[in-house]
Amino acid sequence: MTVDDRAWDPTSGVGLTATEAAAARAAAGRRVAALIEDPYAEMFVRAVGIDVFVELASGDTAARDCGFALPRMVDWVSVRTKYLDDYFAEAQAADVRQVVILGAGLDSRAFRLEWLPGTAVYELDQPRMVDFKTAVVDSHGVRPRAGRFSVPVDLCGDWATRLLDAGFEPELPTAWCAEGLLPYLPPDDQVALLDTVTTLSAPGSRFAADTVDDLHYLTAEIARSMRQSARPREISVEIDAPTPASAAVAQDVIEYLAQEHGWDCAATLAPALFEVYGVAALAPSEHAIFQRIRLAKAVLVI
């Protein structure tokens, strides 16, 4: 499917990456001295019901080594999740009590993180994804630790109106998160999303995301890694990369926020975070892939 076919759910296209990430979080939490723990990840994966992801979530070592979209997927998702969990903790320490998770997928932070009293967490994603997630948590009786508001939207459309209608207050500082989202958006939609985030942000707001420098190169490297995998991939996620121009846009996300909108930004390459969090060092072939990925955060200072 292409990024323009946006009616996805956890079993198809971009939505399938949310299931993959949840399976990796579940697997990461089973490790000794785990970097992260997500007690709800396996619940979501089992509800989706794709065998290879259920195997990974339940601790099957062969599934763990399959590779999926990236080599070292469990390690990478563990590092990314930890980075963003820490980001939300920093926001709470700064008394930011309004949170927006863009492209929330099967994110469980509203249920598993500690939130200050009165915190509102807005989860935005495609309607089918939102409906699926709501049905799963309701059927299991899972309750959020903050005010949780599910907002079905197309993030390449007028999502701001729906967010405001859900109760979002733009005069309050907000902690925004775009995890596993920006690389899948066409360049104009990336810029429009960042513009909208800024328009809706009060001073003291924060933004965090992962970005990819040159998605076409990364896609080719992943395909090569899959061909060399010891275990053939059992499912396929066919997502067309954005046009070549999007590589430059993705690379300039942080610069764009800083130069065009006055955010104070910082970014860290993925390999450095493997070291920061004490995860096993990347092999040279893996480093060639992960050096194209950055995790970034920003604060609106004006």
Residues 248-297 have pLDDT tens digits of 444 478 889 998 899 999 999 999 999 999 999 999 988 988 999 999 99
Q: What residue ranges do the domains of the chain occupy?
A: 75-300
Residue 19: what pLDDT? 95
Q: Is 212 exposed, middle or buried (0-12, 13-18, 19+ CB in 10 A)?
A: buried
DSSP 17-38: HHHHHHHHHHHHHTSTT-S---
Characterize 180-196 residue by residue with b for buried, 16 or more Cβ atoms within 10 angstroms of its Cβ, and e for exposed: bbbbbbbbebbbbbbeb
Q: Can you name the CATH fold of 75-300?
A: Rossmann fold (3.40.50)
Cβ 251 vs Cβ 242: under 8 Å: no
pLDDT (0 to 100) of residue 239: 45
- The b/e string for 214-252 (b: 16+ C-beta within 10 A; e otherwise) is bbeebbebbeebbeeeeeeeeeebebebbeeebbebbbb
What's the pLDDT at 229?
52
Q: What local confidence, expressed as pLDDT, does residue 255 receive?
A: 86
* pLDDT score of 248: 45
Low-confidence ranges of the chain (pLDDT < 50): 1-5, 230-234, 236-251
Beta partners for residue 208, in sequence order: 177, 297
